[in-house]
């Protein structure tokens, strides 16, 4: 089975590459070739910028694929271009959308694939919805074979998931330095974190599956944790008890408006996913890495890469600013009530 990953070296796509290789698939990457150290043995590279159709056509030459997976589609015009590039080239085009496209806030605590798509807060999510709508329309008009995947908050080794960035050591550094950590709301909303290797089981299991055509799936862990538990679990992995400060999400959004969309449109509300559909299509999909194990893996990864145990200056400035304003607000309230 021949599979083309557009990208292939990112947080999610790296794990999917390894899973596909383990399943003895013939794996190709199409990217600009900027991260050769991330490409494992056995992968064939096609170098082209996906935003430059003529480059892509030259790179594809006479190739055909059972599945093409688009990890880098963010706007409807990207989907339109892809349909033009891959029509007749693949038996299955897989588009990675986002679980943040589901209605926020949700009217029901459990999210299924039939949950309506609507996000008034976050343009990123609305663009993903528009991408899905474009793909569905072109799928009907051109009989183009597609599958839609909606990942949620997915992390890999070396990631420290939080509401304020996940791809570096920043939050762990603050904990180890004894600095306060901002937690939106009361810390009790439920959030789902999925290890990339578990996500890969579901995605790769759908490749080449004709029954998946025209279908949409989310692929997540079955574990839902409160944000307090998430931060306490991170602290435990690094041997510290984090200093958590609960601040209303609306207040955070006023102080740091650049965070408003991703916070109010995603992480501030509970997200619990029903994975029964992906299990019906991929019976061996069994998320195996709970967050306590996943964050221990990240801690071990940083022990192997100590040069990356550095603060995130931008996030530190942002959190200190939010905490400073909050401390003043609390002080004013206490004086008013004295």
The answer to whether position 297 is within a domain reads yes
The answer to whether position 259 is within a domain reads yes
- Closest by CA to 315, choosing from 159, 174, 161, is 174
At 280-336, the pLDDT tens digits run 999 999 999 999 999 999 999 999 999 999 999 999 999 999 999 999 999 998 888
Instruction: Tell me the pairing of strands 224-226 and 190-195.
Output: antiparallel
310: left (phi over 0), alpha (psi -120 to 50) or beta: beta
Q: Are residues 176 and 108 in the same domain?
A: no
pLDDT at res. 308: 97
Residue 236 to residue 172: CA distance in whole angstroms: 10
pLDDT at res. 338: 77
More confident of the two residues 268 and 213: 213
Q: Are residues 50 and 186 in the same domain?
A: no
The answer to whether position 284 is within a domain reads no
- Number of independent structural domains in the chain: 2
| Residue 149 CA: distances (Å) to CA of 73, 119, 315 | 12, 17, 30
At 168-199, the pLDDT tens digits run 999 999 999 999 999 999 999 999 999 999 99
The domain of 310 spans 170-192+223-271+290-337
Residue 326 to residue 81: CA distance in whole angstroms: 47
How confident is the model over 78-98, as a mean pLDDT?
98
* Angle value at C-alpha 110, between 103 and 185, nearest 5 degrees: 70
The answer to whether position 165 is within a domain reads no
Q: Are residues 51 and 131 in the same domain?
A: yes
Q: Are residues 23 and 133 in the same domain?
A: yes
Residues in the chain: 338
Query: How sure is the predictor about 232, in pLDDT bands with cuts at 50, 70 and 90?
Result: very high
At 41-55, the pLDDT tens digits run 999 999 999 999 999
The answer to whether position 48 is within a domain reads yes
Residue 171 to residue 159: CA distance in whole angstroms: 10
Whether pLDDT at 108 is above 90: no
Q: Are residues 89 and 187 in the same domain?
A: no
The answer to whether position 279 is within a domain reads no
How confident is the model over 245-256, as a mean pLDDT?
96
3-state secondary structure of 225: strand
Whether pLDDT at 253 is above 90: yes
Query: How sure is the predictor about 230, in pLDDT bands with cuts at 50, 70 and 90?
Result: very high
pLDDT at res. 319: 97
How confident is the model over 126-136, as a mean pLDDT?
98
Residue 5 to residue 31: CA distance in whole angstroms: 9
pLDDT at res. 35: 84
Whether pLDDT at 150 is above 90: yes
Asked if omega into 105 is within 30° of 0 (cis), the reply is yes
- Closest by CA to 151, choosing from 22, 263, 10, is 10
Q: Are residues 188 and 138 in the same domain?
A: no
Do residues 144 and 83 make contact, with C-beta atoms less than 8 angstroms apart? yes
CA 237 to chain centre: 22
Residue 41 gets which letter from DSSP?
T
Q: Are residues 215 and 330 in the same domain?
A: no
Instruction: Round the average pLDDT of the chain to a whole number and report it.
Output: 96
Residue with tokens 């990240």: 298
Residue 139 to residue 73: CA distance in whole angstroms: 16
Residue 135 to residue 312: CA distance in whole angstroms: 38
pLDDT at res. 337: 86
CB burial string 106-144: b at 16+ within 10 A, e below: beeeebebebebebebbebbbbbbbbbebbbebbeeeeb
Query: How sure is the predictor about 109, in pLDDT bands with cuts at 50, 70 and 90?
Result: confident
Find the CATH number of the domain harbouring 239: 3.90.25.10
Do residues 146 and 133 make contact, with C-beta atoms less than 8 angstroms apart? no
Q: Are residues 56 and 201 in the same domain?
A: yes
Query: How sure is the predictor about 106, in pLDDT bands with cuts at 50, 70 and 90?
Result: confident
Q: Are residues 174 and 199 in the same domain?
A: no
Secondary-structure percent of the chain, ordered helix, strand, coil, rounded to 5: 45, 20, 35
pLDDT at res. 37: 81
pLDDT at res. 258: 94
pLDDT at res. 34: 83
Residue 82 to residue 4: CA distance in whole angstroms: 13
Q: Are residues 83 and 202 in the same domain?
A: yes
Q: Are residues 238 and 119 in the same domain?
A: no
């Amino acid at each position: 089975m021949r599979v083309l990953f557009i990208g292939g070296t990112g947080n999610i796509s790296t794990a999917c590459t390894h899973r596909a290789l383990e399943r003895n698939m013939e794996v190709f990457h199409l990217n600009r070739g900027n991260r050769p150290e991330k490409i494992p043995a056995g992968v064939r590279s096609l170098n082209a910028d996906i935003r430059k159709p003529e480059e892509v056509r030259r790179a594809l030459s006479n190739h055909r694929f059972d599945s093409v997976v688009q990890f880098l589609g963010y706007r409807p015009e990207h989907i339109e271009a892809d349909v033009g590039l891959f029509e007749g080239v693949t038996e299955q085009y897989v588009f990675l959308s986002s679980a943040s496209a589901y209605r926020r806030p949700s009217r029901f605590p459990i999210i299924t694939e039939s949950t309506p798509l609507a996000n008034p807060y976050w343009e990123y999510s609305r663009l993903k919805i528009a991408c899905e709508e474009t793909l569905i329309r072109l799928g009907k008009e051109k009989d183009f074979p597609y599958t839609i995947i909606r990942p949620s908050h997915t992390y890999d080794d070396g990631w420290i998931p939080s509401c304020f960035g996940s791809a570096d050591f920043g939050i762990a550094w603050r904990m180890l330095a004894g600095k306060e950590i901002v937690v939106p709301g009361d810390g009790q909303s439920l959030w789902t974190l999925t290890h990339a290797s578990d996500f890969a089981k579901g995605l790769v299991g759908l490749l080449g599956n004709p029954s998946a055509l025209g279908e949409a799936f989310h692929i997540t862990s079955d574990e839902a944790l409160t944000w307090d538990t998430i931060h306490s679990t991170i602290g435990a992995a690094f041997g510290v008890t984090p200093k958590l400060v609960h601040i209303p999400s609306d207040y955070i959004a006023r102080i740091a408006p650049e965070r408003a969309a991703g916070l109010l449109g995603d992480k501030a509300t509970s997200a619990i996913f029903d994975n029964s559909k992906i299990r019906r299509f991929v019976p061996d999909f069994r998320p195996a890495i709970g967050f306590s194990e996943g964050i221990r893996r990240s801690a071990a990864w940083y022990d192997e890469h100590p040069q990356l145990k550095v603060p995130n200056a931008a996030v530190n400035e942002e959190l200190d600013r939010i905490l400073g304003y909050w401390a003043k607000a609390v002080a004013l309230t206490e004086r008013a009530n004295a």
